[in-house]
Amino acid sequence: MSGRDRLIYLPLGGAGEIGMNAYVYGYGKPGKERLILVDLGIAFPDMDTTPGVDIIVPDITWLTENLNRLEAVFITHGHEDHVGGVGHLYPQIKKPIHCRAFTANLARRKLQEKGQDPKVVHTAPSFPQMIDAGPFKVGFLPVSHSIPESNALVIDSPAGRIIHTGDFKIDRSPVVGQPFSDDLWAEAARPGVRALVCDSTNVFSKNEGRSEAEVAPNLKPLVQSATGMFVATTFASNVARLQSLAIAGEAAGRSICLMGRAMRRMTEAAREEGILTDFPKTISPEEAADIPRENLMLIVTGSQGERRAASAQLSRGKYFGMELKEGDTFLFSSKTIPGNEKEVARIMNNLSELGVDVVTDDDGLYHVSGHANRPDLEFMHNLTQPQIVVPMHGEHRHLREHAKVADAGGRIGIVAPNGTMIDLAGNEPRVVDHVETGRTYLDGSALVGQFDGVVRDRIRMALNGHVVVAVMVDDDNEILEDTWVDIRGLPEQVRGSASLADIMEEHLAGQLARVNTRTANDDEALEGLIVKGVRKVAQDEIGKRPEVTVLITRLSAE
Amino acid sequence: MSGRDRLIYLPLGGAGEIGMNAYVYGYGKPGKERLILVDLGIAFPDMDTTPGVDIIVPDITWLTENLNRLEAVFITHGHEDHVGGVGHLYPQIKKPIHCRAFTANLARRKLQEKGQDPKVVHTAPSFPQMIDAGPFKVGFLPVSHSIPESNALVIDSPAGRIIHTGDFKIDRSPVVGQPFSDDLWAEAARPGVRALVCDSTNVFSKNEGRSEAEVAPNLKPLVQSATGMFVATTFASNVARLQSLAIAGEAAGRSICLMGRAMRRMTEAAREEGILTDFPKTISPEEAADIPRENLMLIVTGSQGERRAASAQLSRGKYFGMELKEGDTFLFSSKTIPGNEKEVARIMNNLSELGVDVVTDDDGLYHVSGHANRPDLEFMHNLTQPQIVVPMHGEHRHLREHAKVADAGGRIGIVAPNGTMIDLAGNEPRVVDHVETGRTYLDGSALVGQFDGVVRDRIRMALNGHVVVAVMVDDDNEILEDTWVDIRGLPEQVRGSASLADIMEEHLAGQLARVNTRTANDDEALEGLIVKGVRKVAQDEIGKRPEVTVLITRLSAE
C-alpha cells in the first residue's frame, strides 16, 4: 500500500439507490484519513421488502469503527433522505453537525424528539466562507432544489477541491430562496475542481428542467375556476409550492388551511428562519369548519398516498371536521414517486367515489421536479469543469448513465456504488477498497440489521402462513398425546369443513406414537420430524409450505 | 317490483378495478332473468394486500346461487384477466364456454391443466353469425387489441342490442390479425345500439392511439445497431409484437430464441390456430448456446419484473446457459403496469451492474398500448351511436371519467361498479340491485375468501411479528412454571444482549404466579392476560405490538 496521502470518497448510502444518503470523504495516509460525513438520511420501507419497518437508515458500522477519525457531519439540505437519520444515529456518532439555518432548525427538532442536545447542530454561513474540519475546509454553496436553503458543498483538501452537489436543479426563479447563481458557482469552480460528486436522479429526463416559477401561473386559473372546496397536496417541504398554492387560493378569495403534521412543521421552521415572508395568513382546521366550502382551500400532506396522511384520511371520510363531496376539487401538485402508484391510485379512486374531481400533473402544469435533468447535468459539468465526475443519488442505472454523460463530455466518469472506496488524489480515480454497507431498520424503537433474519421471517410468515405446534414430553421421554396445533394465516377449514389444525394434530399423533425414545429425547430430531409432518399435511391439503414453530416442553417429575 | 322484463347488466369483476373481468347479462322477469357470463378473468396478487396468494378470481357466489339461470359463458379474448379464471372456476359453473379459435385453444389448455374436459369449450364463428343462449343471441365481433382474435360481443335481447367491446383499440394495421373494420362495426351498429359497455383503461390518455405497425420500423434500426446479444421482452400474448421483434432480429442476421413458458405457449397456440404465418424460424435455448452472441436475439418473458420469469433470471445470472454481459442490449418493448415499477427497476439495475445497455419505451418508440385512448373512445361512441354508455374495465376514476365523456357526447353515461345491477330495458338505465361481490384467493390449492381473515393474519404477522406462548395448567388448575415463549419476526436480542423471549418468559412467570384458580381455569381469561403481558413487554422493549398466539395445555391426571 502506497504511503501517499489519499483523498477518499466512500458512499455508505445513496449511491445505487435513491434514499438514505450518507457519503464519507477522507484525506490522509491510507487507512488513517481524517474523515467527514456528508448527509445522514433515511429511506422508506415497503411491504415487499421491509414489512413492519418504520424507517431505514444506512448501516454506518464502518463509520462507527473509525469514529476517532471523524471530524464532523455536514448536511446539505432538509429532505428526509439527507437529514432524516440525524435523530436516530447521532448517539452513535456524537460529532458536530453543520448545516444552514433552515436545515439546522429541522435537524435540531429531530435531535430534541430523541432527547438529544440540539446544540450539537451548528448553523453554517454560506460560501465563500468555509468551515475547518481536519484537513478539509468545507463551504455551503447555495443551490436551487425543491426545499429552501439547499446547498452543494465545496470541499477543499490538500489534494484539491471537490464539489458535492447535493440534490439540485438549475432554477433561476425558484419562488422562495436564492436563484441559482451562475456567478457564485463559477467562483467556486475557478480554482479548479478535481471531482464533481453529482446528483443523478433525473439523468434519464432528456429535456431541460423547468423552473418552480412556471407552476404558479397555472395554479391561479385552476383554483379560480373551482366551485366547491379546493384541496391541494404536494411535498410538505416544497415551501415554494406551498406559497404558490396559498397565493393562488387567496387570489380566488379562499381562506388557506394547512393540514398534516409535516406541513405545519415545515412552514413553522420556514417562518422561524425568515424564509416564508410572502405566505398568506392561514387558519386552523377548527376555523376552516365554519367557512363555506367554496371559500376554502386546504393544503394537505400525503401526495404519495401515505395511509395516515391527510390526503388519505380525507379520501376515506371525515378528517378534522372536513368532508369532501361532489363538486370539490383535489389537486395533486406532485409527481408519484415510483413504487407509490397503487397507494396514490387508491386515494384517487376513493375521491372519485365521493364525486370529487381529481386533477393531476399529467400535462406537466402543476408540478416541476427538483432535480437536474440530463441537459442540466451537462450544464453543471461544463460550469464546474471537473476532472472527474462521480455520479451519486441514483440507482445503479442512473449512476451508469450519468458516468456515460461525463465520458461523452470528455471527463472521467466513475461508477462507485455504496461501499466502493475510491481515491481521488491520483491522476485517475482508483478503487482502493470495498466496505460492507447495508441498511439498518428502525423497527418500533429497535434498530434491526438487514440480515438479522427478523424481516426475512416476517416475509416468510406473510407468504406461507405460520403453524405452531406445542408438544410435551414427560420425564420418561414419552410424548404426551395432547399435541396442540395452532395455525395463523392459513385457511382454517379444508375440503369443505374439516379443520386443518385437526388434520395436522391427527397426523402428528400417529407420527409421534411411533417415535422411539432416542428421538423423543432429542429436541432437534423431534422438531425436524414435526416440521416435516406439518408441511406434508399442508402440502397435501392446501398446496402450501408453511413456516412452523415447534414448542417442546419437557415435564420433569416434581 | 315491476313485472316487466328486464335487461340486466351486473359486473362481478372488472368494473372498479383493472383485472378479473366477469360481467353478467340477463333478460327476463325480475329475479328470473336468464343469464350469460362474459369473461372470467383473474387478477394478480401483491405483497401489500395479498401476500402469499397465487392468483385472484372474482367471487362468483351470486352466480353459483343462480346457476340454474345461467345459459353459457362467452370469452372475449385470451388475456389472463379475461380467460384466466376458466380453469379454476369451471367446476363451479359447468356451462358451455364460447370463444373464437385462438382463445378457445388457450381456454382448453387451462381446463386440461385442471383435469377438466376441454370439450366444453366451443369454437365460435364471427359476427354476423350469432350463437343462441336463452333469450340472447351473441355474436363475436372482431376488434383490434394486443392479442390475436380479440372480440367485442354483439348481444341481442328482446329489449335491444348491447355491444360489449371487450378490450380494444382502433388499429387499422395491427400486424397480426384482422384490422379494425369500420364497415363491420357500422353493420353491427345499424339496427341501433341500446347500450355500449365499453373499455375504459386509457380514458385519461388524451391523444389518439397508435397502431402496432408503428413499432416495427423503430425496432429494425435498433437491432441493427446493436453489437452484443440482443434481448427483448414484451407481453407474451402480444403475438404481433413478437413477430415484429423476430423479423427485426432476422433482418439483422440474428437467430431468434424464445424464452419463458408463456412465450412458448402463446406462439404454440398461435401456430396451431394458423395465426402465426410470417414468424421467422426459432431455435431452442440449447441451440442458442452455440451461436455467437452478436448473431442472437432472445425474446423473453418478464416485462413486468416477475421474479421467476426469464428477464429476472437473466438479470441475475445464468439462465438456460445464457449469460448477459457488457455490450449486450436489453429492450423493454413494453410499458410498466402501475404497481410493478420497483420490480422492473430492480431488473434494470441488475442489468446495469452487468454492463448491459437497457433500452426502454420512454420516447414511445418501442411500444404501443392495446387500449383505446380518449379520442378513440369518442370515435367508438360515435360509430356505434348507443343510447347508453356503460364504462367497464377500469378503476372507479376511469369509469367516472368515461361516463363524463359519454355525457359530453350527448349520451347517457352510467357508472356501475362491481355488484351494481342495472336494468337497461327502460328509457333510462336504472340501478335495480346491489349484489355482494369481492375477490376469492387461490392460495396454494385452496380457494380462500377475501374476508376469511387468512390474508389479514398474514399481513398482521408481517407488520407486527408473531409471539407464541405455550403454557401448561395441571389438573389442580395450577399453572406450571415452564411457560415457553417463542418469537418470530421480532429482534431476538434487545438492549444489547438480553433475550426478548427470556424477558417475556420472566414477565409472564411473575404474572402467572399471581393468577387465581378461577382465571387459571378460564382459557379465555388466561389467554387475554398472557396476550396483554406479552404486548406490554414488547411495547416497553422494542416499541411494537406483536401478534400473539397462546397455546394452553391442560394436563389431566392419567
DSSP states of A154-187 = EEEETTEEEEE--S-B--S--SSSPPP-HHHHHH
DSSP state of A120: G
CB contact under 8 A, A446 and B470: no
Task: Verify that B263 and B396 share a domain, yes or no.
Answer: no
Task: Verify that A273 and A342 share a domain, yes or no.
Answer: yes
Contact B478, B525 (CB under 8 A): no
Task: Verify that B313 and B429 share a domain, yes or no.
Answer: no
Q: In what order do the strands lie in the sheet with A446-449?
A: A55-58, A439-443, A446-449
- Which strand (E) or helix (H) includes residue B413? strand B412-413
Question: Largest Cα–Cα distance of chain B, in whole Å?
Answer: 87
Task: Verify that A280 and A198 share a domain, yes or no.
Answer: no
CA distance B170 to B371: 8
List the one residue out of A389, A29, A453 whose CA is nearest residue B489: A453
Q: Using alpha carbons only, what angle is made at residue B308 by residues B306 and B311, rounded to the nearest 5 degrees?
A: 65
CB contact under 8 A, B468 and A463: no
Residues 6+ apart with CB under 8 A from B202: B209, B369, B371, B372, B373, B374, B376, B377
If chain A, 558 residues long, is cut into consecutive pieces of 10 residues, what is the mean pLDDT of each piece? 85 97 98 98 96 97 98 98 97 97 98 96 98 98 97 98 98 95 97 98 97 97 97 97 97 97 94 91 94 97 96 96 96 95 97 97 95 98 98 98 98 98 94 97 94 96 97 87 92 88 95 90 95 97 97 76
Neighboring chain A residues of B374 at a CB cutoff of 8 Å:
none
Contact B350, B358 (CB under 8 A): no
Neighboring chain B residues of A491 at a CB cutoff of 8 Å:
443, 446, 448, 452, 454
CB contact under 8 A, B52 and A494: no
B152-183: per-residue pLDDT in tens? 999 999 999 999 999 999 999 999 989 999 99
Task: Verify that A403 and A543 share a domain, yes or no.
Answer: no
Task: Verify that B407 and B328 share a domain, yes or no.
Answer: no
Helices (H) and strands (E) in chain A, counts: 17, 31
Task: Verify that B186 and B268 share a domain, yes or no.
Answer: no
ipTM of the predicted assembly exceeds 0.85:
yes
CB contact under 8 A, B352 and A400: yes
Instruction: Please report whether residue A14 resides in a domain.
Output: yes
CB contact under 8 A, B51 and A47: yes
Range of the domain at B469: 463-554
CATH number of the domain where residue B354 is located: 3.40.50.10710
pLDDT band at B381, cuts 50/70/90?
very high
CB contact under 8 A, A555 and B461: no
Task: Verify that B192 and B306 share a domain, yes or no.
Answer: no
- Mutation for B interface: A551, A552, A554, A558, most B CBs within 10 A: A551
Helices (H) and strands (E) in chain B, counts: 17, 31
CA distance A222 to A360: 12
A553 touches chain B (CB under 8 A): yes
Instruction: Please report whether residue A1 resides in a domain.
Output: no
CATH number of the domain where residue B509 is located: 3.10.20.580
Task: Verify that A245 and A379 share a domain, yes or no.
Answer: no
From B359, B388, B417, give the residue that closes a domain. B359
Number of domains into which chain B is organized: 3
List the one residue out of B215, B388, B228 whose CA is nearest residue B295: B228
Instruction: Please report whether residue B519 resides in a domain.
Output: yes
B487-500: per-residue pLDDT in tens? 999 999 987 789 99
**What sign results for the dihedral spanned by CA atoms A141, A144, A149, A152?**
negative
Task: Verify that B57 and B203 share a domain, yes or no.
Answer: yes
CB contact under 8 A, B454 and A490: yes
Residue B210, helix vs strand vs coil: coil
Residue A204, helix vs strand vs coil: coil
CB contact under 8 A, A489 and B544: no
CA distance B286 to B258: 11
Residue A110, helix vs strand vs coil: helix
Task: Verify that B14 and B159 share a domain, yes or no.
Answer: yes
Instruction: Please report whether residue A457 resides in a domain.
Output: no
Task: Verify that B98 and B192 share a domain, yes or no.
Answer: yes
Residues 6+ apart with CB under 8 A from B27: B5, B6, B7, B8, B33, B34, B134, B135, B136, B157, B158, B159
**How far is A338 from chain B, CA to nearest CA, in Å?**
6
Q: How high is the pLDDT of residue A557?
A: 56
CA distance B492 to B501: 7
CA distance A474 to B338: 57
pLDDT band at B482, cuts 50/70/90?
confident
Distances in whole angstroms, Cα of residue B481 to Cα of each of A527, B434, B505, B508, B554: 22, 56, 10, 10, 13
B200-231: per-residue pLDDT in tens? 999 999 999 999 999 999 999 999 999 999 99
Q: How high is the pLDDT of residue A474?
A: 86
Neighboring chain B residues of A46 at a CB cutoff of 8 Å:
47, 342
**How far is B351 from chain A, CA to nearest CA, in Å?**
8
Instruction: Please report whether residue B364 resides in a domain.
Output: no
Instruction: Please report whether residue A127 resides in a domain.
Output: yes
